[in-house]
Amino acid sequence: MIRAYAQEHKFKDAFYLFTHMHYSGTPPDNCTYACIIRACTERTDSFGLRIAHGGVIVSGLEFDLVTSSALVSGYSKLGLVDIAHTVFDGICEPDLVLWNSMIAGHGYGRPWCESLKLFSKMRKIGKDPDGYTFVGLISGVNDPRLLGVCRGEFTVYV
């Protein structure tokens, strides 16, 4: 229900249900937190996002890949890339979705070379990129000359 409200941009209703759920003693799971985190991101509500992050920690879900990916994406989209990186660095073995979220996150107002450094680090540990990885990598390019670097990275995997 929370997810449906959030997808329909009925954030007030989503937050009401989330709060009601919390006060009724029903603990939110990782998917519920991910929905609330996305709703905070859509509303550009960094305060709400930090509160949700606190709930994730209290619930013991801070190392869960679903909530971590939502947090990384949310913080990045709101321009809080340093916090996103802290969340990312707290995960022992990030999956490809989390890597993609962080690479794309660097495209939101960070120098593009940060995305490329993260991409190189991902390759060094043996994670193979997918199409989303390259979309995230290219999205941060603000200089046409750098597209050649992306093209070179892409052809290695085609």
Q: Are residues 86 and 144 in the same domain?
A: no
Mean local confidence (pLDDT), 53-68: 95
Per-residue pLDDT at 117 exceeds 90? no
Dihedral (CA of 138, 143, 144, 147) sign = negative
Instruction: Identify whether residues 4 and 26 lie together within a single domain.
Output: yes
Query: Could you tell me if 77 and 113 lie in one domain?
Result: no
Domain end (from 57, 90, 123): 90
pLDDT tens across 121-154, in order?
999 999 999 989 888 887 767 666 666 665 665 5
User: Which of 31, 55, 90 marks a domain boundary?
Assistant: 90
- The CB density around residue 96, as the number of other CB atoms within 10 Å, is 14
Are 60 and 107 members of one domain? no
Q: What is the DSSP string of 73-140?
A: HHHHHTT-HHHHHHHHHT-SS--HHHHHHHHHHTTTTS-HHHHHHHHHHHHHTTPPP-HHHHHHHHHT
Q: In terms of domains, do 53 and 81 share one?
A: yes
Question: What does pTM read for this prediction?
Answer: 0.85
**Distance (Å, rounded) from C-alpha 58 to C-alpha 34?**
15
> Among 90, 107, 137, which residue terminates a domain?
90
For 130, the domain range is 93-158
Looking at the fold, whether 108 and 79 belong to one and the same domain comes out as no
Same domain, 127 and 53: no
